[in-house]
Chain A
Amino acid sequence: MGSPLPVNSFSNRLLAAEAIRRIRLLAQRVPGAAPVPVMEVCGTHTHVLAKSGFRELLSDAVEYRSGPGCPVCVTDPADLDMLLRFSLQEKVVLAVYGDLLRVPGTEGSLLEQKARGAQVSLVYSALDVLTLARQNAKYQVVFAATGFETTAPGTALLILEAASAGLKNLSVISLHKLMPPALKLLLPAGRCRIEGLILPGHVSAVTGRRAFDFLASELGCPAVVAGFEPLDVLHATALLLEMAAAGRCAVLNAYTRVVGEKGNIAALEAMAEVFAPEAALWRGFGEIEGSGLGIKPRYAAFDARKRFGLVPSRAPGGCREACRCGEVLRGAIRPPECDLFGVTCTPERPQGACMVSSEGACASYF
């Protein structure tokens, strides 16, 4: 058996206290007004910052701005409304990951559609969809596949297994998104000053650190790939401030226990076999070229968009104009700046996507 993995030491309070002290000192050395704005791209980092209290504790030194790294949050309303309409189609079972169920679309959520008779099934893993298809041979089982580079390889394996088993009643609506194209769009477009990015550790585990080199070489933005333990997040923050203070720009890997330079080759190969980059809709951003994963023509039989002629479009009427999730996802405002936050929009009754998932910025702030 291999050697044990140390886990608890990553929460050592004494080390954290010293890291916080250092971060405050470093922040004073960064040119420009304090607090120094950095963006945590990943929703899990947003959650860690809220749970640990670091966001508040360090608010004099660092302003953590949440990025577009919560997969449910960035699912566009037009795609969501498409799913809501499609869920009511007869002889269809729509399989989704849990968080998607409660995201409000123009005319309610998938949970409400379920109450109206839609067959919506929760899945924990893409491979659960195979079981679902085998158990429901008289139904078309359609998987609304959300998620970034972490989740897309599993969907690719699902399609490969369905193809190999010759399943005729399984198909996928790929809502998968790629992180680098969104960051390319976000940074030049950002209204706010961002001194550096805390990069998503799990996405990087698949893509490899190198996939983010463009941040430094093309966009001049320092970045650190970070793990998800409290000390990991503090250390990544300290590294970003050190770079900002020294005028240095690089993409560093502070999560070497999981992330390599090249990523997970088997996962990248599975994705490349089944998917090709295509334009995708993002809440708050609109359409971003090359940021989605379309199913390649050779697997068209498993492409639900083609099989059922599905086209994303907003339902008429009920546009939730007051909801500012889009601006939250771009890092343009903090959740409490939205008038709905904590008043009509709460985790129990979310009005916007960012209040639904525990990885959503609004739910984390709440």
Chain B
Amino acid sequence: MPVRVLVVEGDRATIEIAGGTRVVSKKLVPEIKAGDYGLLHAGFIIQKVSPEQARETLALYEEIYGQSTSG
């Protein structure tokens, strides 16, 4: 699931999750920093999530599915 990183300290990151916080490992994504979004899997951030790409994808969905067409 996508989570927001609040604080990083060494190999650990404090993330915001389900209204609370949790400390997880960021060792697999060393470049992640506070304010970034990451994909959390079994206690590890396994990839960064790009808000820019997310917005581009939504814009694409809007473009394709945003108005009725004849298909």
Contacts and interface: CB of A to CB of B under 8 A. Distances in A.
A5 B65 CA distance: 21
A206 interface: yes
Interface residues of B, number: 38
Nearest to A269: B28
Contacts of A256: 50, 53, 56-57
Contacts of A238: 64
B58 A9 contact: yes
Given A125-B43, A157-B27, A266-B27, A15 B51 contact: no
A153 B44 contact: yes
Contacts of A177: none
Interface residues of A, number: 48
A235 B59 CA distance: 13
Interface in B36-51: 36-37, 39, 41-44, 46-51
B18 interface: no
Interface of A: 1-7, 9-10, 12, 14-16, 18-19, 21-22, 25-26, 97, 124-128, 147, 150-151, 153-154, 157, 202, 205-206, 227, 231-232, 235, 238, 254, 256-259, 264, 266-267, 270
A150 B68 CA distance: 38
A153 B46 contact: yes
Contacts of A258: 39, 47-50, 53
Given A15-B65, A256-B56, A2 B51 contact: yes
